[in-house]
Chains A and B, each alone.
Chain A
């Protein structure tokens, strides 16, 4: 790693830890209904919303009602977004004159944005109107993120409460997440982005004549307002097809750093919130530490692999980093960002289920690409999506506690809650979902005629392209490996299934766990209690997360990136 890469990483981690601490305390206050500095402005707005919608904020819900409210809300969101795309041609704010989005694409996009995936089978500049971008996609960027936060908060309440029937009110959690957390930060962030040169207008694409004399169409629109929440809500759906590699989305090193920080901000903050809400900040910091360790391993590996470059280049090609060049494997990377900022961004965006990209993951070295793929495949728990990262992680924590807890001779318990058959049933269900979707759909795609039309490369790399797509979908990441033509009925539908399954087949059992935990009595901690803070448990958790993913995906990795790497090295 170059000095610059190391410095960047250190600076990033320091800023992240600070953010986590600040945001964690704030989030805990917001979701415990305590006073915050923003109350004078926001509380009246909140009250008005409840009055208009008829929500009783005092009435808490059992997990079934909570899940039902969430599913109903998501279904409504999918339908509304689908409809908006299907009729956008006859609606205002369409200066580029985009037609109605075709059904399979509208379905895929509607599912993609309501599941916080933001997989983009569509080409934004050529498909969606400003109205769809603003009233459809950006709105979903806010509420799908808020829904994720709500579920995480509900699960944390399940651990924090005892002998309780309810886990909170979905509508209140959703509203507070948007009003107190997402809107204010996104607003400020958008202004900073504008100051750095991110576009924000409602104009039609502009035709310009370039220096060589050719005519080029430059798309523009309300970019900054969507860009802020795209990062902060770990959504990742770009205004432009090139996403954060586009100078209108990510113009400067400052915006690049801010984008990387805002991706991890809420997921990291939620770990600290968790510690505070269960009354033991060390529990939160242990989660943060494990996530950070797994992230750092990925970041360092990716950077090293990318910096090493391509072994097949002739010796005459200088791949070393120097003052005048970034060196390494620069294929598919922005020269503005170089190796270190691209590798770090890619690690962050895959670790968190963001999916925004500032480089083409398809063009990473096989092992670099493997790290990115594995970041998603472990279940989006390395910070992960807003809310999704924490709730997925806590499920792994319960799994680790279950196996290791037995080894200390007690019924396993986490945060004073016994992990019994009911919890294990739901934990097991959530662990089944991701392998079933990823491997099942990949297998189907690789042996069906229409599936085989997708990958642009043959052999192991083609396998990786397909595997990555479904991993990205099921993990609700949304980043594309590229090199896969996903704009077909087959891929739009199967990826839609992956995204829906990856979101809702996880959420329902997780809310069931929350409900079941909330109803339990709390067990007092003694010297015989298995400690769920500190290095030993942290190391164990890392091991469980990595081994579960490795055991599930090793055969597929072996036939994809690993064999590709070995072939590359062997020169065949």
Chain B
């Protein structure tokens, strides 16, 4: 936790606030994003790149073959032997569009990441570092020449050249370039968390001596750029498994179409190669095949927008699978500060009397506890003067007296631990002792208030649960995720907070090494565990967990060990991360289902079209009553291409995710994407057929 340092440097008031990353967000089809994406889409037609995506590679090969057939047909037309050029030309065009739309989707997803990478890259360029030489003098070197182990001196206004550890000086550093957070943070040597600095961040007051810990090109910023840009992207296990299945389906449909020609010959029908390729392209899962990589990139992108960096796509998928969340009590579930919750007057004293005294005793108290007492008093309608009234002196808290308050004309109004107050006022009250004991039992902290020699009552301080936590845990429970609170408190205090926050389980009196043990226990039972951490002693547990989110304010060791970094250092972000992981998988599954379900309608469009000349009876299968065999085939191909574009928003934004149980989610998605996938193409193909017929294109 960051705490104000009394005598440290003062953060400069006039600090130019850089653009927050959230401002970079743009509309989905922003022309500024679309134009470069279109150019990139054309570049992606390179077969060497396309081969990474087996489904679209098959479409590209098909498009090439049909293009050659079109050229042949053109040649014949020149020789005066005209065939149906219009049909073939349209078919060729739409097949190429199919490939293009798929690479456009990928390029668009990548482009959104690139925009963020560019804004990061700007902070990295042209840094000159002051390297400390052995004789104590410094020399100017480019940041790229710095090696791990070099020591540099960074003055106010300069960029920190690379990741490192503070070994001298105290300064405020703005990490806005990386976290988007404008408030500067204090860095100083010798502490676990506050000593680590990130390359690309800016020292804005005083100076720092930093020992560089990263080799050039391997800094956190470099990794971050590579990640948001997608250049470090590899297929995740689940994506790979899906690609295998889609390739298998593609082979099945390849077999179906290749063997259809002999079957047609036997039946006395003629099917041209171009039409067979059209059939193949409409049957193979182009919708999901075309959008698969865009879905993955967009998933990472959504995390980046939440200011979370996943160091691998695997981690994002694992987030969807998480069964147990280990949450630190302090800072995650509670604010970590004890706050005044209630005032309990002793017999013979009114609540107002106690409130007034408690307020007076806390006026000079700048600690969060003191401020919370003032706030509570004000809420109950007692006005406070701004600052200490004249002639009143403060009694500061000391380890010796263990009380604090004010003194006015020798009359003391104080608050403090029960025994300390009893010692100061010279007597103890059995009744107040009773109240104190009750509060302690409930896990709270009692502060006794005395005015002169009168003991007025007790302030009930307690660790306050952040608002909305109970609802979020309830949400997680519906998703099938257990929450476990980890705290160093005694079991009694822990239980009180656990009950109030609504976690499923808690571990009290936990030492840092206990986290590792708890994670292993859960994993042995076949559960996936997620946790957050920032300290070096969290590193082993972060490494052991399936999803380890390191706080960006944390140490380099913690960031190394985790597989995600939260730039906002907000531990409750875990819940969002889980939702994004699930949404990513759901989007993949939904579009796969949709893609496969589409095939049924396409069969009903194309099969009668292919064979109605041979077997007029097969017109009975033309249930959409499509206009002609050619318009039926074209309509299916056009629908197949357009549906990719239509689904780009879903691929990039992800399907709507609601935290429900698995059965409810499945029922909903089966209805929307399964049944929808069956029905939509019937309507779509029919509409396109009508347009084709009306415009005379087929």
Q: Report which A residues bind B (CB closer than 8 A).
A: 162, 399, 402-411, 416, 419-421, 423-425, 427-429, 431-432, 435-436, 439-440, 442-444, 446-447, 452, 459-460, 462-463, 521-524, 526-531, 536, 540, 543, 547, 550-552, 554-556, 558-559, 562-563, 566-567, 569-570, 572
Q: Which residue of A lies closest to B235 (CB)?
A: A421
Do the beta carbons of B244 and A428 come within 8 Å of each other?
yes
Given contacts A521-B526, A526-B481, A563-B618, contact A406 B263 (CB under 8 A): no
Task: Name the A residues within 8 Å of B621 (CB-CB).
Answer: 558, 562
- 25 CB < 8 A contacts A-B: A403-B245, A404-B670, A406-B586, A408-B666, A411-B237, A423-B241, A424-B244, A427-B245, A428-B244, A432-B248, A432-B251, A432-B252, A440-B255, A443-B262, A444-B262, A446-B263, A523-B527, A524-B527, A526-B323, A536-B666, A547-B600, A555-B263, A563-B617, A566-B615, A570-B617
User: Nearest Cβ distance between residue A564 and chain B, in whole angstroms?
Assistant: 9
Q: Which 3 A-B pairs have the closest CB atoms?
A: A406-B589, A528-B480, A409-B582
User: Nearest Cβ distance between residue A387 and chain B, in whole angstroms?
Assistant: 24
Do the beta carbons of B263 and A559 come within 8 Å of each other?
yes
Do the beta carbons of A524 and B526 come within 8 Å of each other?
yes
Q: Which residue of A lies closest to B618 (CB)?
A: A563
Partner of A551, one of B263, B525, B593, B599: B599
Do the beta carbons of B618 and A405 come within 8 Å of each other?
no
Task: Name the A residues within 8 Å of B259 (CB-CB).
Answer: 439-440, 442-443, 556
Is B667's CB within 8 Å of the partner chain A? Answer: yes
User: Nearest Cβ distance between residue B687 and chain A, in whole angstroms?
Assistant: 23
Partner of B673, one of A407, A425, A440, A463: A407
Given contacts A421-B237, A555-B263, A559-B267, contact A406 B588 (CB under 8 A): yes
Partner of A529, one of B241, B480, B583, B611: B480
Task: Name the A residues within 8 Å of B320 (CB-CB).
Answer: 409-411
Q: Which residue of A lies closest to B655 (CB)?
A: A407
Given contacts A404-B589, A408-B662, A410-B662, contact A554 B241 (CB under 8 A): no
Chain B 179-213 against A: per-residue CB contact (8 Å), 1 yes, 0 no?
Answer: 00000000000000000000000000000000000
Task: Name the B residues within 8 Å of A411 (CB-CB).
Answer: 237-238, 317-318, 320-321, 585
Partner of B607, one of A452, A528, A558: A558
Q: Which residue of A lies closest to B525 (CB)?
A: A524
Q: How far is the CA of A236 from the CA of B386 in the complex (A)?
A: 98
Do the beta carbons of B264 and A407 come within 8 Å of each other?
no
Task: Name the B residues within 8 Å of A527 (CB-CB).
Answer: 477-480, 661-662
Do the beta carbons of B244 and A425 come within 8 Å of each other?
yes
Do the beta carbons of A410 and B593 come within 8 Å of each other?
no
Is B544's CB within 8 Å of the partner chain A? Answer: no
Do the beta carbons of A442 and B263 come within 8 Å of each other?
yes
Q: Report which B residues bind A (CB closer than 8 A).
A: 237-238, 240-242, 244-245, 247-248, 251-253, 255-256, 258-267, 283, 317-318, 320-321, 323, 477-482, 525-528, 581-583, 585-586, 588-590, 592-593, 596-597, 599-600, 603, 607, 611, 615, 617-618, 620-621, 657, 661-663, 665-667, 669-670, 673-674
Partner of B617, one of A402, A409, A521, A572: A572
Do the beta carbons of B593 and A407 come within 8 Å of each other?
yes
Do the beta carbons of B241 and A402 come within 8 Å of each other?
yes
Q: How far is the CA of A57 from the CA of B261 in the complex (A)?
A: 53
Given contacts A424-B244, A443-B263, A567-B615, contact A436 B255 (CB under 8 A): yes
Task: Name the A residues within 8 Å of B481 (CB-CB).
Answer: 526, 528
Do the beta carbons of A447 and B585 come within 8 Å of each other?
no
| Residue picked from A439, A527, A531, A572, most chain B C-beta under 10 Å | A527
User: Nearest Cβ distance between residue B430 and chain A, in whole angstroms?
Assistant: 51
Partner of A410, one of B261, B265, B585, B615: B585
Task: Name the B residues within 8 Å of A551 (CB-CB).
Answer: 252-253, 256, 283, 596, 599-600, 603
User: Nearest Cβ distance between residue B236 and chain A, in whole angstroms?
Assistant: 10
Q: A424-B245, A431-B252, A528-B323 are in contact. List 4 more A-B contacts (CB 8 A).
A: A416-B526, A442-B263, A446-B266, A527-B478
User: Nearest Cβ distance between residue B389 and chain A, in whole angstroms?
Assistant: 59
User: Nearest Cβ distance between residue A68 and chain B, in whole angstroms?
Assistant: 25
User: Nearest Cβ distance between residue B336 and chain A, in whole angstroms?
Assistant: 30
Partner of B585, one of A406, A423, A431, A446: A406
| Residue picked from A405, A424, A547, A566, most chain B C-beta under 10 Å | A424
Task: Name the B residues within 8 Å of A567 (CB-CB).
Answer: 615, 617
User: Nearest Cβ distance between residue B348 and chain A, in whole angstroms?
Assistant: 54
Q: How far is the CA of A459 from the CA of B266 in the complex (A)?
A: 8
Q: Which residue of B lies closest to A534 (CB)?
A: B663
Q: How far is the CA of A531 from the CA of B237 in the complex (A)?
A: 22
| Residue picked from A403, A407, A531, A570, most chain B C-beta under 10 Å | A407
Task: Name the B residues within 8 Å of A440 (CB-CB).
Answer: 255, 259
Given contacts A406-B585, A528-B323, contact A566 B263 (CB under 8 A): no
Given contacts A527-B477, A551-B603, contact A407 B526 (CB under 8 A): no
Partner of A409, one of B253, B583, B596, B599: B583
Q: Which residue of A lies closest to B481 (CB)?
A: A528
Task: Name the B residues within 8 Å of A569 (CB-CB).
Answer: 617
Partner of B480, one of A406, A428, A526, A552: A526
Task: Name the A residues within 8 Å of B321 (CB-CB).
Answer: 410-411
